[in-house]
Amino acid sequence: MSKMSNTYLGLDIGAGSAKLAVVRGGVVHRLAEAALPDNLFKDGRIVSPDAMAEELRSALRREHIAVRSCALSLPPETAYVRRVTVPYMTVEQLNVNLPYEFHDYIQKDKNLYFYDYAVVKTEKGDEGEPKSIELMAAATPKEVIADCRTMLRKAGLHLSMAVPEVLTYRNLIRNYEASHDDHPEEYCIVDMGHSGIRVHMYRGDAYELSHNIEYGGASIDALIADSESVDPHVAADYKLTGYEGAQKIPACRELYSRMAVEILRAVNYYGFNTPDADLRDIFFCGGLAKVKALMETIRTTLDQINIHFIDELMPLREKTETTVLCPAAVGVAMELSGR
């Protein structure tokens, strides 16, 4: 088998940038981030597919990435994901019945969606016969997949797989647990992005629930821009570098505290609704994970929990400044490489 046939590109498109991960043989070989123009990606949707295709094409050329088989991480706004338990049935029966598990979420014609699932566990009866199956089920509009496929084709890529973002992290957890006997039993992954913060809970590699926090990097940029009388793009640089003490202005410190408290509330909510939960480890990723003053506030607020960065879960050849930005891109590429 050639190297290229065992090499895959993972792609995660967000509000501020697109993240690319080249995974070969289950190991990350290259990571890249491509900044995106304002308003090209909004509310989980690509506003201009043609413009996005050109941005991706430029990024591939700039980073000298020749891989064409692409796995795409789908933002939460474009996919429904839920845990369900159904009576034991055949694969054919599951395919027929799965759409009905989303009747509370999907009001349109169920045939307008793609459905997929992964088996979490099978419950057996007293005599060892299978009685029920617990599934991680997902539904995505066919229109979304068609638009993504067209956009990626214009960028010179072939869409081989699309996976909801919350399920891409399962691959990181599964791979980590396979090589670490002392792994946690539960994981909290906090994606601190440009438009908001997403807090995801997992038991082993089984996704449990998410909590969204409405303010993210853009909110901090706005505070710095107002305080320093600069453009928001300049403020974003100030935020990351701490230029002129920008990370520590009072308004930012207040927002850091609110963010940290919201993350703690999400953790407490999970514990309250999961009586036997024993969550001890949180893994941070996203652009805000690079803001030292914010992370200091989070460490102080969540002082009873072990704080990690997401790169601990990733099969890396080496860590870079881009590592914490790309876990979903890595996870979805691993899904494709392990198919």
CATH number of the structural domain spanning residue 120:
3.30.1490
When pLDDT is cut at 50, 70 and 90, the band that residue 332 belongs to is very high
Same domain, 217 and 271: yes
Name the least confident of 10-14, 113-117, 118-122, 261-265. 118-122
In three-state secondary structure terms, 106 is: coil
Average pLDDT over residues 14-21: 92
Same domain, 167 and 18: yes
Average pLDDT over residues 104-122: 89
297 membership: H or E segment, kind and range: helix 292-301
Tokens 């305080």, residue located: 227
20 membership: H or E segment, kind and range: strand 17-24
Same domain, 161 and 135: no
Q: Is residue 301 one of the residues assigned to a domain?
A: yes
Rounded to whole angstroms, the Cα distance separating 63 from 65 reads: 5
- Mean residue pLDDT across the chain: 92
Same domain, 292 and 240: yes
The better pLDDT of the pair 114, 43 is held by 114
Q: Is residue 279 one of the residues assigned to a domain?
A: yes
Same domain, 233 and 119: no
**Residue 302: domain span:** 182-313
Same domain, 114 and 192: no
When pLDDT is cut at 50, 70 and 90, the band that residue 222 belongs to is very high
pLDDT value of position 104: 85
Residue 181 has which token pair?
């006997």
Tokens 């979304």, residue located: 144
Q: Is residue 318 one of the residues assigned to a domain?
A: no
pLDDT value of position 244: 83
Name the pTM for this structure.
0.91
Same domain, 15 and 60: yes
Same domain, 26 and 155: yes
pLDDT value of position 318: 84
What's the CA angle centered on 19, arms 332 and 38, to 5 degrees? 130
Same domain, 124 and 26: no
CATH code (residue 47): 3.30.420.40
Same domain, 9 and 148: yes
When pLDDT is cut at 50, 70 and 90, the band that residue 5 belongs to is low
Residue 118 has pLDDT above 90, yes or no: no
Same domain, 211 and 91: no
Residue 247 has pLDDT above 70, yes or no: yes
Same domain, 57 and 159: yes
Q: Is residue 319 one of the residues assigned to a domain?
A: no
Rounded to whole angstroms, the Cα distance separating 98 from 115 reads: 7
Residue 10 has pLDDT above 90, yes or no: yes
Q: Is residue 321 one of the residues assigned to a domain?
A: no
Average pLDDT over residues 200-205: 94
Average pLDDT over residues 50-76: 95
276-297 pLDDT tens trace: 889 999 999 999 999 999 999 9
Q: Is residue 292 one of the residues assigned to a domain?
A: yes
Q: Is residue 156 one of the residues assigned to a domain?
A: yes
Residue 1 has pLDDT above 80, yes or no: no
Q: Is residue 308 one of the residues assigned to a domain?
A: yes
pLDDT value of position 317: 84
pLDDT value of position 2: 43
pLDDT value of position 337: 72
Bridge partners of 190?
199, 284
pLDDT value of position 183: 95
Average pLDDT over residues 109-126: 90
Average pLDDT over residues 122-136: 89
Which of 99, 74, 40, 37 minimizes the C-alpha distance to 149?
74
Bridge partners of 134?
85, 121
What total of structural domains would you count in the chain?
A: 3
When pLDDT is cut at 50, 70 and 90, the band that residue 338 belongs to is low
